[in-house]
Chains A and B, each alone.
Chain A
C-alpha cells in the first residue's frame, strides 16, 4: 500500500485544520451530480429512512381504504378487484418496502457511528442498493397506479399467482419487485457485516459491541441465508409465468406446495429480520433512559444469535393445514415453542434493566414500554398458533391477522417509532416535541389495541382473512366497525409523528451532541454528524464508552490520512488496529449501474430478451464503476 507512506496525516493537526481537511476530503460535491454521487452512509441512510417511511404511508393508506370497506357489511366502497390489490399492496409494501428497508436503513445510518468509523464498508455498493430499492418500490406503486398492482397477496401462493389464474402483468410486477428488494437487501447485509467485523474502533472487542449493532449483524446474516430462497422462488414463478416452465404446475409434474416451502423458508426468517433490529433499538434506548447498562449483555447477544438460527427452523408452522405429515408438523410445533425462550430472555433482561435503573419517562421509553406490553401478547398468541390443533382453527382467520400485527406493529413499529424519537436529534441536530410525542404515544397505544384486539375474536367467530366483504347475518358487523374506527385513529397517530418530524426540523430545540447523555459512540459526534463522522477515531474500553468519568472515550487514534479517504481497519475479535484502508470516493456509477440493472429487471417483465439486452448497459456501468483511475481506493 504505497499511499501509507505519502499524504498528510492527522498527527499534530490542530482541530480547526483537521476539520477543514477532513471536510474537504469527505464531503460530497454540491449540485445534482454531487447529490446523486454521494456515498456518505448518513446521506444514503437518511434517504433510505425517508423513502421507507414514504412507503409506510402508502401501505397505511391502502390499509385505511380496506378498513373503510370493511366498516359495514356488504359495503361497496371498493370491489373485489381493487380490494385484492389493496391488501396485496399493503402486505407487500409493509414487508418488503417498509419494514425490512427501514431496519436496514437504521443500520446504514447508525452502525458506522456506533462502531466509531468514518464510513461504511463498500459505500458504493451501499448507494447502489438504495437506488435499486427505490426503483423497485416506485415500479410497483406506479404499476398499481396503472391498475397493475399485485393481486395474489404478499405471499403470492401458486397456482393462484401462476400464469393460468393471474393473467396479465400484475403478478410479474410483484415478482420483479421482490428481485429488486432482494438485491438491495443482500447488498446492505454484506455492507453491514463487513463494517461490523472490520471497522470497529480500537478496543471494541466482541463483548463491547453495542447491542443494536449486534442485532443488525445477526439480522444481516439472516438476510444472507433467507433471501436467496425467495429470490429463487420468485425467479421460478416468473419463469413459470413468462417462459412457460412448470415448477409450480401440478398438472405438469410441478408442485404447488414447493412455492410455500421456499416462500416461508424466507418468510419466517423475514419476521426476525424485522424484529431483531427492533430489539436492538430497545436495547439501545433502555440504558439511556434508565441510566443503567442493559442487564444481561451476554445473554441478550446469545439470544439474538439463537433467534437467528432458530428462525430457519419454523417455516412449516405456516403450512400446518396444507396437508403435511403429522410427525413433521410436531417437530415444527416444538421449534416454534423453543424460539419463545430467547425472546423471553430478552424481555426479562429488559425488565431487569428497568428494575435496576431509574426510569426517565421520555417519549422513546414510553414506546419501549408499550412495545413490551403489546409484543408479549403477540408472542403468546404465537405460542397458541404453534400448537397444530389450535392453528387448524385460527389459521387464515382474523385471529392470525391480530397475532401478527401485535408482533410486527407492537414488536417492530413501536420500537422503531421510539428509535425515531431517540435518534432524530442526532440526525437533525434538533429535538422532537416531547409534548406531541406523549400525545402520539397515548393515541397510538390505545387505538392500536382497540383496532387489533377485537380481531382475535372476529377470527374465532369465523371471519377468514382477505375477504373483501362479509354478510350482515354473520354477526361480525359491530366489531368490524370498532376495528375500522380505531384503525383510522391509529393511522392518524402517524400523522402526529409526521407533523412532529417536519415541524421539529425547523422549530425543535437544538440538541447538542448528546441530549440524552447516552453512552454509545454515535453521541460522541456533533449533531448532525460531520461527513467524516469522527475528527479522531475513538478508542474504547467499555460497552458504554461515554459513561466514563469525563463523558468521553478512553482515547483517540492518530496517524490517519486527512487528504484522502482513509479508514482504520481492526481485527475481528479483539478490534486491535490492523491496517489503514482507503475508502472509495463519491461516484455516479452506482446510480447508473442501478438504473441499468433496474431497466433490465423491468424489461424482463415484458420479454425474456431484456435479460440479454440488459447485459450490455449493466456491463458498461460496472466497468465504469470499477475502472482503475489511479485513485487511492483502486490500489
Chain B
C-alpha cells in the first residue's frame, strides 16, 4: 500500500518535471484566475494534510504494539480503551467540522472577491456556441462598430471584459483554463463570464461540455493585445473584405460565390451573406481552421475545404465537389482575406 503511494508520488514528480511549467489551470493570466488558483492551492494543502493524517492514523492503528491475546470474548475486546477512543474520535469529528467551516468560508470569500472584480466599464463580447464552433460578436459600439468573427477572441490587456454567452443548439461550455473558470452556454438563457487579462499572449481553450460528435474539436483561442494593437486589430477587422487581387483569386471569388459556400458563410463586401457558419471576411488573419482543429496554412485549409468530413467527421460543413483548379483558386481567394 505504501509502495502504491510512493509510486503515485513518483509519477506525479515525473509529470511535473516533464511539463514545461505548471498545468494551464494553475498558471493564471489575470486576477480572477489568480484568485481561483490561490484558493485551489489552499484547499490542496489542507486536503493533502488531512489525507496524510488519515493514512498515518490508519498505519499507526495497524502497527501499534498489541498486548497478547488474553482469550477474552471478542465482544469485550478493547472495552477498556473504548472511552479514550470515543474522546479521540469526537475530537477528530470536531476538528473535521472546523476545517470544513474554514474551507467553506474561504470559498465564499473568494466567490465574493471574484464578484467584486467586475468593473463598471466593461467591454462586452457576445459568444454564441454552435455545433462545433464559436461565434464571436463585438457589438458595444453600435451598428457601425459591430464585428463578427469566429473561434478567436481578441481583447485588450488590462481591460475588464464580460462575455455574454448563449447557445443556438445544445449546451456548450466556455473554458480557457488560464483566464479562470468556465461557464456553460445554455440555450434559452444568457450567462456571463467576467475576466481581465494581465499579460499579452495567446490563451487556448476548448468546449468543456459534451456537445455531440465533434465536442473534441471545438477549440478557441483568446489573444490579449496591448491596447493600441487591439485597436488596430479591431479597425482592420471592421473593414469589409478586400477585393481579390490577381486572376486566380478573382476566379476563386467567383467559384466561392457560385458554389454552396455562400449558403452558409458571410464575406462582408460581397453577396455572400450566409449566417449559419463562421464569418470568413478576415479568415486569413485567424490562426486556426475548423474551430482551431488545424493551423491556418494553405495545406490545412485545402484539406478542410476538399473534405471536411475527413478532418472533422460529423461536422455540419458538407463536402463540395471541386476540381483542383477550383480548389486552388478558392484557396488563393481565402488566403487574401486577411
Q: Which of A390-436 contact B (CB under 8 A)?
A: 390-397
At the interface, yes or no: A122 with Cβ under 8 Å from chain B?
no
Determine if B183 and A84 form an interchain contact, defined as CB atoms under 8 angstroms apart: no
Docked pose: A388 CA to B108 CA in angstroms:
8
At the interface, yes or no: B243 with Cβ under 8 Å from chain A?
no
Docked pose: A383 CA to B92 CA in angstroms:
17
Give the size of the chain B interface in residues (CB under 8 angstroms): 97
At the interface, yes or no: B66 with Cβ under 8 Å from chain A?
yes
Contacts of B12 in A (CB 8 A): 453-454, 457
At the interface, yes or no: B54 with Cβ under 8 Å from chain A?
yes
**Which stretch from A209-217, A218-226, A462-470 is at the chain B interface?**
A462-470
Contacts of A293 in B (CB 8 A): 74-75, 77
At the interface, yes or no: B261 with Cβ under 8 Å from chain A?
no
Docked pose: A352 CA to B81 CA in angstroms:
10
At the interface, yes or no: B245 with Cβ under 8 Å from chain A?
no
Majority DSSP secondary structure for residues of A touching B: helix
Determine if A380 and B170 form an interchain contact, defined as CB atoms under 8 angstroms apart: no
Q: Which of A327-369 contact B (CB under 8 A)?
A: 329-330, 333-334, 337-338, 340-341, 344-345, 347-349, 351-352, 354-359, 369
Docked pose: A359 CA to B16 CA in angstroms:
38
Determine if B182 and A392 form an interchain contact, defined as CB atoms under 8 angstroms apart: yes
At the interface, yes or no: A79 with Cβ under 8 Å from chain B?
yes
Docked pose: A337 CA to B46 CA in angstroms:
14
Determine if A334 and B104 form an interchain contact, defined as CB atoms under 8 angstroms apart: yes
Partner of B77, one of A80, A165, A291: A291
At the interface, yes or no: B8 with Cβ under 8 Å from chain A?
yes
Docked pose: A257 CA to B188 CA in angstroms:
9
Determine if A340 and B96 form an interchain contact, defined as CB atoms under 8 angstroms apart: yes
Instruction: For residue B11, give the distance in angstroms from its CB to the closest CB of chain A.
Output: 6
A355-B61, A470-B216 in contact; A396/B208 too (CB < 8 A)?
Answer: yes
Q: Which of B34-64 contact A (CB under 8 A)?
A: 35-36, 39-40, 43-44, 47-48, 50-51, 54-55, 57-58, 60-62, 64
Q: In this complex, what residue of A is CB-closest to B172?
A: A160
Docked pose: A397 CA to B61 CA in angstroms:
36
Determine if A387 and B77 form an interchain contact, defined as CB atoms under 8 angstroms apart: no
A292-B77, A395-B182, A446-B7 in contact; A462/B51 too (CB < 8 A)?
Answer: no
At the interface, yes or no: A194 with Cβ under 8 Å from chain B?
no
Determine if B43 and A395 form an interchain contact, defined as CB atoms under 8 angstroms apart: no
Partner of B314, one of A80, A354, A475: A80
Determine if B4 and A165 form an interchain contact, defined as CB atoms under 8 angstroms apart: no
Determine if A462 and B74 form an interchain contact, defined as CB atoms under 8 angstroms apart: no
Determine if B75 and A341 form an interchain contact, defined as CB atoms under 8 angstroms apart: no
**Which stretch from A197-205, A370-378, A592-600 is at the chain B interface?**
A370-378
Contacts of A475 in B (CB 8 A): 19-20
Determine if A348 and B104 form an interchain contact, defined as CB atoms under 8 angstroms apart: no
Contacts of B62 in A (CB 8 A): 354, 359, 369
Contacts of B208 in A (CB 8 A): 395-397, 464-465
Determine if A80 and B96 form an interchain contact, defined as CB atoms under 8 angstroms apart: no
Docked pose: A321 CA to B181 CA in angstroms:
9
At the interface, yes or no: B233 with Cβ under 8 Å from chain A?
no
Determine if A390 and B43 form an interchain contact, defined as CB atoms under 8 angstroms apart: yes
Map CB proximity to A onto B160-173 as digits: 1 under 8 Å, 0 otherwise: 00000100011101
Determine if B93 and A344 form an interchain contact, defined as CB atoms under 8 angstroms apart: yes
Map CB proximity to B onto A540-556 as digits: 1 under 8 Å, 0 otherwise: 00101001110000000
Determine if B1 and A373 form an interchain contact, defined as CB atoms under 8 angstroms apart: yes
At the interface, yes or no: B207 with Cβ under 8 Å from chain A?
yes
Contacts of A323 in B (CB 8 A): 165, 183-184, 186, 189, 191-192
Partner of B4, one of A388, A449, A468: A449
Map CB proximity to B onto A468-503 as digits: 1 under 8 Å, 0 otherwise: 111000010011001000000000000000000000
A295-B82, A356-B77, A389-B181 in contact; A466/B210 too (CB < 8 A)?
Answer: yes
**Which stretch from B109-117, B222-230, B319-327, B329-337 is at the chain A interface?**
B109-117
Q: Which of B213-256 contact A (CB under 8 A)?
A: 213-216
17 A-B pairs besides A393-B40, A462-B24, A547-B73 with CB distance below 8 A are A84-B213, A333-B104, A344-B93, A354-B58, A356-B82, A359-B62, A384-B44, A389-B111, A395-B208, A450-B11, A454-B15, A457-B23, A461-B19, A462-B23, A462-B204, A467-B215, A548-B73
Leading 3 A-B pairs by shortest Cβ distance = A392-B181, A250-B188, A356-B78
Q: Which residues of B contact A (CB under 8 A)?
A: 1, 3-5, 7-8, 11-12, 15-16, 18-20, 23-26, 35-36, 39-40, 43-44, 47-48, 50-51, 54-55, 57-58, 60-62, 64, 66, 69, 73-75, 77-78, 81-82, 85-86, 88-89, 92-93, 96-97, 100-101, 103-104, 106-108, 110-111, 114-115, 131, 165, 169-171, 173, 175, 177, 180-184, 186-189, 191-192, 204-216, 313-314
18 sampled A-B residue pairs with Cβ under 8 A: A157-B170, A165-B170, A323-B165, A326-B111, A337-B100, A352-B89, A358-B66, A369-B62, A370-B1, A384-B43, A387-B39, A392-B181, A395-B173, A396-B173, A449-B4, A449-B5, A468-B215, A482-B11
